[in-house]
Amino acid sequence: MKTRKSVNPSAATKAARYIKFVEWSEADQVYIGRCPGLFAGGVHGDDEAKVYKELCDVVAEWIASIEKNGQPLPPPTAGKKYSGQFVVRVSPDLHQRAALKALLHGESLNQLVARTLVEA
């Protein structure tokens, strides 16, 4: 990994408003760090802590670049509140199959979907 230049403290503070993930990739045999609220790419390396540090630096640099270009920042992802409800659009056939499966298990479609998500 390369050393990054220091960034504006304001950008570093704003970077804390975005969720960052560092996870091991079996396929690549490295840690991969991502910040999906800001950009699609990521950083990678063999040391989890170093990857997280580099990711934080990249996020701050990204924010500084967005602000320098006069563009608005995307909505923050850290601390975001969720209602517990979301709509999923599926084909009528899949909807029917899921509803029948729920019925067979003696549960509501909502219970089936929630259980399936937890198990995944």
DSSP 74-112: PPP-TT----S-------HHHHHHHHHHHHHTTS-HHHH
Q: Please state the rounded mean pLDDT for residues 67-74.
A: 94
Shared domain for 90 and 41, answered yes or no, is no
Q: Which two tokens stand for residue 43?
A: 């950083």
Shared domain for 14 and 64, answered yes or no, is yes
Q: Cα–Cα distance between 32 and 5 in angstroms, integer?
A: 21
Q: Please state the rounded mean pLDDT for residues 82-87.
A: 92
**Nearest alpha carbon to residue 61 among 2, 3, 7, 115:** 7
State which residues form the domain around 33: 9-68
Shared domain for 57 and 99, answered yes or no, is no
pLDDT at 80: 87
Global confidence as pTM = 0.69
Q: How many domains does the chain have?
A: 2
Shared domain for 64 and 14, answered yes or no, is yes
Residue 117 lies in a domain: yes
> Could you tell me what percent of the chain has a pLDDT over 70?
92
Question: Chain-centre distance of CA 119, in angstroms?
Answer: 19
